[in-house]
Amino acid sequence: MDVFLTDEQRRLRAEVRAWLDEAYPPQRVAALEHDREYPEEFWAACATRGWCGIPVPVEHGGRAGTVTDLCVFVEEVAKTTISLATLYITATIFGSHALEICGSPAQRERLLPAVAAGAVRFGLAMSEPGAGSDFAAMTTTATRVDGGWRIDGRKGPCSGAERAEVLITAARTATDPGSSHRGISLFLVEPPVDGLRFERRDFAAMRGLPVDDVVYDSVIVGDDAMLGAEGEGWRNLGRLMGPERLANAAQAVGVAQAAVDDAVGYARQRRQYGKPIGGFQAVAHPLATAHAEIAAARLLVYGAARKCDADGPSPLEVSMAKMMANNVAVRATDAALQTAGARGYEEESPFMRRFLEARGCELGGGTSQIQRNIISRHLGLQ
């Protein structure tokens, strides 16, 4: 089902798979998730093998890869664990696209080569405890001070924030009634900075990547820290969400495929009533359905990726791909978990982990309901 892929993309996929199989076999992944071990080795490989450079333009030291290339990479990495895939999405994809979309020439010159080299990881501080789906309701403020801005508030949850060299921070620069979406601006906050602290959140999965609330207590940044124009933060975040949502969808496809592949293997060897459980139609059919649904979701994801590559931002196609991939992944990982019986229900079972990973994909980057709202609006509804 990789009709959309070029030979080069197939080579990238094979290269990534070979490296991950060697560096992160299942026991190693289980330990990483259990011990909340940051995937240093993966990040080092991203840097040295040029994977960090995939979304970065050639003139800044990158490979000028396409959205499709990124989906291929992320889908494959997510088959191992979303701790690795989400690290890559936030640190590299989000950072490079943010700079491309709204970075100043000076910001691009300074930071894009560092992203390509893996020397700088980005984090996104957009959500707040009181502003999730409705992120325009954010209350974090950026107030003008001599030579820059003072940021006050609490953001979170933010993936990988405490290990990021740059946090894209969304804050309200206008607080007058009615300023809502127009009052939001973006800043590049580069820890360590006085007044900035991290409070670890305890997610049920993706435990190899720390997730934090980020507290801004009179954090001072210079004028040159503003990313994009003042008051344009909402619009720029909207543009950034496209690649991020598609990467999330590719990640969900990878998680689902890995779960079903493992479940098929288990169903072939696990015997009950004198034969492999895969010989029971009630066990085989849910996996067959999941396999077909994953293939359909993958086609939507790569179709949307190709459209983004050809036509630029394609919010309808991206939302449809994210919604389908997320829904399919939850169903598929649930079917895989059922196949594994009680073994699947053990705390460190990969089946349970993948089910939780699929749930996380569906919650992050705009939930399935929010994607349905977007699709409805494209249909002239809502």
Ligand X SMILES: Cc1cc2nc3c(=O)[nH]c(=O)nc-3n(C[C@H](O)[C@H](O)[C@H](O)COP(=O)(O)OP(=O)(O)OC[C@H]3O[C@@H](n4cnc5c(N)ncnc54)[C@H](O)[C@@H]3O)c2cc1C
Tell me how far, at minimum, the Cβ of 82 lies from ligand X, in Å: 8
Q: Which is closer to ligand X, CB of 255 or CB of 290?
A: 255
Q: Which is closer to ligand X, CB of 118 or CB of 157?
A: 157
- Rounded to 5 degrees, what angle do the CA atoms 366, 214, 43 make? 75
Q: Which is closer to ligand X, CB of 4 or CB of 135?
A: 135
355: Cα separation from own chain's centroid: 16
Tell me how far, at minimum, the Cβ of 381 lies from ligand X, in Å: 13
Looking at beta carbons, which residue is closest to ligand X? 132
Q: Which is closer to ligand X, CB of 57 or CB of 132?
A: 132
For residue 147, count other CB atoms closer than 10 A to its CB: 10
Q: Which is closer to ligand X, CB of 66 or CB of 248?
A: 248
Helix (H, G, I), strand (E, B) or coil at 147: coil
Phi then psi for residue 153, to 5 deg, are 150, -170
Tell me how far, at minimum, the Cβ of 369 lies from ligand X, in Å: 3
Tell me how far, at minimum, the Cβ of 80 lies from ligand X, in Å: 16
Distance (Å, whole) CA 155 – CA 13: 35
Identify whether the C-beta of residue 254 lies closer than 8 Å to the C-beta of residue 76.
Answer: yes
64: Cα separation from own chain's centroid: 19
Identify whether the C-beta of residue 265 lies closer than 8 Å to the C-beta of residue 374.
Answer: no
Alpha helices in the chain (DSSP H): 7-23, 26-35, 40-48, 67-78, 82-88, 95-102, 105-117, 233-269, 281-311, 315-339, 341-344, 350-363, 368-378
For residue 6, what are its two tokens? Answer: 């070029």
- The contact set with ligand X (CB under 6 A) reads 90, 124-127, 132-133, 157-159, 206, 360, 363-367, 369-370, 373
Q: Which is closer to ligand X, CB of 103 or CB of 157?
A: 157
CA atoms within 13 A on the CB side of 264: 13
Q: Which is closer to ligand X, CB of 208 or CB of 365?
A: 365
Identify whether the C-beta of residue 64 lies closer than 8 Å to the C-beta of residue 100.
Answer: no
Give the chain's end-to-end CA distance (angstroms, integer).
Answer: 35
Distance (Å, whole) CA 283 – CA 279: 8
Tell me how far, at minimum, the Cβ of 373 lies from ligand X, in Å: 5
Tell me how far, at minimum, the Cβ of 323 lies from ligand X, in Å: 11
Tell me how far, at minimum, the Cβ of 289 lies from ligand X, in Å: 25
